[in-house]
Structure formats: structure tokens, C-alpha cells
Amino acid sequence: MTEDVPPRPHTARGPGPRTVDLLVVLLVQAVMTMPFVVPRAPDLPPATWTAYGLTTLTVVPLLLRRRAPVLVLLAVLATGALYNSVLDGPGQPLPYTGIVAVYTVAELSPPPKRIGVMVLTAVAVLVSVGLDGQDLRELLFSLFVFAATYVFGRLTVVRKAYLRAVEDRARQLELTRRIEAERAVTRERARIAREMHDILSHAVSLMIVQAEAGPVAVRTAPERAEAAFEAISETGRDAMVQLRRMLGLLREPDASPDAPRAPQPGTAALPGLVERVRDSGLAVSYQVTGGLREPGPAVGATVYRIVQEALTNVVKHADADAVHILLDHGTEALVLTVTDDGRGPGDGPGAGLGLVGVRERATAHGGTAATGPGPDGRGFRLRVTIPWTVPRTGTGTGAGSERVGGEAR
């Protein structure tokens, strides 16, 4: 199973940081050029190229605002102070370069630098307004503009952090969804493997037993040979029906509209299963006790498959003469016991894999599967217990329970 972080969804890429900085510089330069091209009043000094050049020098450092935001702000303040003290050029309605520089410091600089730079900016504003002879309203307006710019820069940081958190959460949810999907596929593959194993192993085992007994029966009892061949044919047909049913469920509905949709065999089909195995020559007895409380379809299919696997193991490995099946509908649980008089589960190729599937089936319904020797140490016994009510823990209201009987699930 892979745990790689899924790639981010494809989105249209915007302009890079360098392109944005160049556009910002061009926009600020255009705005600061306007007072130099708009006709001035006759009583004001004319705009000169020297003043325009010094104005441009306050804009150029913004190209490096991401690399050294504090130095860029200091350069802007110094150049602006030189412009105001040396030249009597056109003024600006807003300190555009200072606004961009303060915003960048607020967004990119650590707290100590931000605090120091903002104190320095406030001092520079006080000095600049004092030298220009402006009134208190102009001072408060300038301080408000820079304070608002700083707040806007910090809000941008918060917004970016929120967007990163949302993107990270989306990636984590996508990763979790992929992992859960892969786990579901793995569980489904295991379930299909169990079903295929139970169907094919049971059918092939019975067909082999009947085929091996057929030649002997032809020579000694022709009527038994005919019954053996009929049993082989019936077992094969039953296996094909079950396989078609399973494969039909695996196909897409549109690709197979006529696929069988019959339910899986349950406890009601056990007598027929016992009869087919009995025809192979094995003495099989089947007994039902208890209150006859019928399990739900899922549990019924599980019981059927477990009995099928147990009988297959007896035929293939146990070398037994008789097997007894007891299905007890108890008050607390459904108990299935399969006992044979053979030599145990065996150790041939594949031995034990069926029992693993039996335990998995029982565990899926909150039950248990125990194996061991039969009565008096002879043979082999399989005991499966499936409770009628499976405890489960609720996520919000405490413990709950799940009904696995016929009434509700």
C-alpha cells in the first residue's frame, strides 16, 4: 500500500513573485509620475527632471522588497527624506512607496524587526510632517495610513496560513480516502478469495472423490457408478451456478444487465449441501437444536460457507468415515459444531488456509472459531460461535449494539 501524499490538483498558475514585483513597481512609478505631467499652478515651482529622477529612486528599491524588506523600507524613507529636504518638487497625495514597503515588512519580517521598523516609521512620519509644517490632521492621517497598511499586511499572513491549512487538510483527507479505498479493495479481494476457495475447493474435492470411486463402482456395482457420475454432474452444475452468481455481482450493472442477483445460500441450503456430500460416500449427519431463531442473510451465508469448508477439509484431509454437524440456536449465540472421526486437519499442501478463512468469517460477525481434537481425542472438531448481538462502541453517544439475527441488522 502506498502512503505517498497525493499530488495537488492542477490549477492555473498565476504570475511569479518577480513578475508581481515588477508590475507593482511600474504601477507605483506611473502613479508617482502623474504630478509631474499634470500642469501645475503658476505660483508653484516647476517640476524638474532632478526631482523626477529622485522620485524614481524611491521606487526602484521596491524590486528587492521580498529579499530585504527592512532595507528597502529604510532606503525608501531615506530617499523620501532627501527629496523633501533638498528639492521643492511636486508632492504626492499618498506615500505610495512607503505603503508598499511597510506592507512587505508586515508580511515577511519577523516580529522584532517589524516592531522596530514601525517605530522608526512613526518617527520618520513625525519628522516629515513637522518639517513640512503640516497640521495635526495631516499627522494623524499619515499615521493611520501606515498603521492600516501594517494591519493589512498581517491579515494577508493570516489568510495565507489559513489557505495553507485548508490545502493541507484537503491533501490529508484525500490521502485518507485513498488509504481507505485501498483497504476496502484489499478486504474485498480477501472476501472474493474466500468465496472462490470455498466454492471451487468444495466442488473439486467432491468431484475428485466421486471420480476416483467411479471406476471401482463400474466393476462392482454399476448402479453406484451411475449415481457417482450424477453426483459429479450435480456438483459441477452447483459450482457453476454459484460462480456465475459471484461473477455477475462483480461485473458492472450496465455491462451485465442479466447477471443473476439471487442471494447467497444460507442455513436453509445446508440439508442440500449435506446430501451432496453424503452421496460421495461419507456418512454425514445434520442436527438443528435450540429455539430455531433464524440468522440474517449475512450470518446465514457465513454459516453455509463454514460448513462447506469444514466438509471439504474432511473429504480432502481427514480420511474420516463419518461427520456430525450440529447447529444450535442458543439464547446468546448461534453455535456451529462440526465433528469427524478422521485423523485431524492434515498437513498437506494448502492445509490450514481454509481454517484461516473460517476464522476470518466468524470474526467478521463478532464471533470466534476454535479447533481441536474430537471426543476422546479422536478426529477433529470445529466450533464456531456467532453472537446474536455484536457489541460496538458508538462515536458520540456511548456503547451500542448491532443485531445480527433475522429481525434487524
**Within-domain flag for 118:** yes
pLDDT number for residue 10: 47
Strand intervals (E) in 198-257: none
pLDDT number for residue 368: 92
Mean pLDDT across the stretch 379-387?
92
Paired residues of 323 in beta bridges: 284, 340
pLDDT number for residue 402: 46
CA dihedral 264, 267, 272, 278 (to 10 degrees): 120
pLDDT number for residue 210: 67
pLDDT number for residue 263: 61
pLDDT more than 70, % of the chain: 73
Place 387 in a pLDDT band, splitting at 50, 70 and 90. Answer: very high
**Within-domain flag for 147:** no
Q: Which of the listed residues 74, 107, 134 is the one where a domain comes to its end?
A: 134
pLDDT tens readout for residues 24-33: 888 888 888 8
| CA distance linking residue 246 with residue 259, whole number of Å | 9
Cell triple for 270: 445446508
pLDDT number for residue 48: 77
180-184: which pairs have CB atoms within 8 A and are 24 or more residues apart? Answer: 182/1, 182/2, 183/1
Q: Which of the listed residues 119, 134, 149 is the one where a domain comes to its end?
A: 134
**Within-domain flag for 324:** yes
Of the candidates 234, 382, 373, the one whose C-alpha atom is nearest the C-alpha of residue 305 is 382
| CA distance linking residue 378 with residue 95, whole number of Å | 99
Q: Decide: 6 and 174 in contact? Cβ < 8 Å.
A: yes
**Within-domain flag for 79:** yes
pLDDT number for residue 397: 41
23-47 in b/e form (b: 16+ CB < 10 A) is ebbeebbeebeebbeeeeeeeeeeb
| CA distance linking residue 337 with residue 386, whole number of Å | 12
| Residue 399 or 378, more confident | 378
- Residue 360: pLDDT above 50? yes
**Within-domain flag for 360:** yes
**What residue has cell string 463419518?**
322
Place 245 in a pLDDT band, splitting at 50, 70 and 90. Answer: low
Mean pLDDT across the stretch 112-126?
81
**Mean pLDDT, all residues of the chain:** 76
- Residue 379: pLDDT above 50? yes
* pTM of the complete model: 0.47
Three-state secondary-structure class, residue 393? strand
Cell triple for 27: 504601477
| CA distance linking residue 383 with residue 364, whole number of Å | 16
Backbone φ and ψ for 215, nearest 5 degrees, come out as -60, -40
Q: How many helices (H) and strands (E) does the chain have?
A: 10, 7
* Maximum Cα interatomic distance, the chain, rounded to a whole number of Å: 136
Place 95 in a pLDDT band, splitting at 50, 70 and 90. Answer: confident
pLDDT number for residue 216: 65
**Within-domain flag for 190:** no
pLDDT tens readout for residues 306-355: 998 888 888 877 778 889 999 999 888 999 999 998 876 555 444 555 77
Strand intervals (E) in 20-66: none
Q: Domain with 363 in it: what CATH number? A: 3.30.565.10
Q: Which of the listed residues 134, 156, 189 is the one where a domain comes to its end?
A: 134
pLDDT tens readout for residues 133-147: 566 777 788 788 888
- DSSP annotation of 345: S
pLDDT tens readout for residues 32-68: 888 777 777 777 777 778 878 888 888 888 888 888 8
Three-state secondary-structure class, residue 314? helix
| CA distance linking residue 382 with residue 160, whole number of Å | 62
pLDDT tens readout for residues 216-234: 666 666 666 666 676 677 7
pLDDT tens readout for residues 254-307: 444 444 455 678 888 889 888 888 877 788 999 999 877 778 888 888 898 899
pLDDT more than 90, % of the chain: 11
Mean pLDDT across the stretch 157-174?
91
**Within-domain flag for 5:** no
- Residue 107: pLDDT above 50? yes
Q: Decide: 369 and 360 in contact? Cβ < 8 Å.
A: no
∠ at Cα 105 (101, 106), nearest 5°? Answer: 115
- Residue 170: pLDDT above 50? yes
Q: Which secondary structure element, helix H or strand E, spans residue 368, and what is its range?
A: strand 368-373
User: How far is CA 334 from each of CA 124, 183, 202, 310, 374, rounded to the nearest angstrom?
Assistant: 87, 29, 23, 17, 20
pLDDT number for residue 167: 92
Mean pLDDT across the stretch 77-95?
74
Mean pLDDT across the stretch 163-187?
89
Parent domain of 122:
17-134
- Residue 382: pLDDT above 80? yes
**Within-domain flag for 53:** yes
How many domains does the chain fold into? 2
